[in-house]
Amino acid sequence: MEFFLLTTSRDGGLPASLLVSLVPLGGTPGDPQKYAAWLEAREPDGGARKQVSVVDLPAGAAVRVIGTTTLSVHALVPGGAGYLTLSFSAPLTGMSGPMERLCDAIANSLRWVV
């Protein structure tokens, strides 16, 4: 699924996109701490390096990866089916301030119904 988000202000709109996908476990670690380390090890060295952390969401522990214009949240699906990945992108405004808070609020609304 892909969503286009548009927040408006007096100065105009702030476009962002959200892509929701399922990443099967396959060779990826099923533990969020290990998955975070696995993702961080794949980050290139230098200034464009993204920040990788594990956060607590209502849906459980998730891996949060933030860059200059992107934010990804990887939530482990119950039953070990894989990771539900929420990939946010805000190419014009960057991923800081109000846009980061909006994307975090959307990620924090994730709940599992089992």
Ramachandran sector of residue 40 (left: φ over 0; alpha: ψ -120 to 50; beta: rest): alpha
CA dihedral 79, 57, 25, 96 (to 10 degrees): 160
Distance CA 24, CA 30 (A): 10
Question: CB 39: neighbour CB atoms within 10 A?
Answer: 17
Q: Report the pLDDT value the prediction gives residue 10, as an integer from 0 to 100.
A: 66
Task: State the pTM of this model.
Answer: 0.83
Q: How does pLDDT run across 23-77, given as a tens digit for each residue?
A: 888 888 888 999 999 888 877 766 667 889 999 999 999 999 998 889 999 999 9
The domain segmentation of the chain, as residue ranges, is: 2-108
3-state helix, strand, coil in the chain (%, to 5): 20, 40, 40
Q: How does pLDDT run across 63-113, given as a tens digit for each residue?
A: 999 988 899 999 999 988 899 999 999 877 777 788 888 889 999 999 998
pLDDT at residue 20 above 70? yes
Give percent of the chain above pLDDT 70.
83
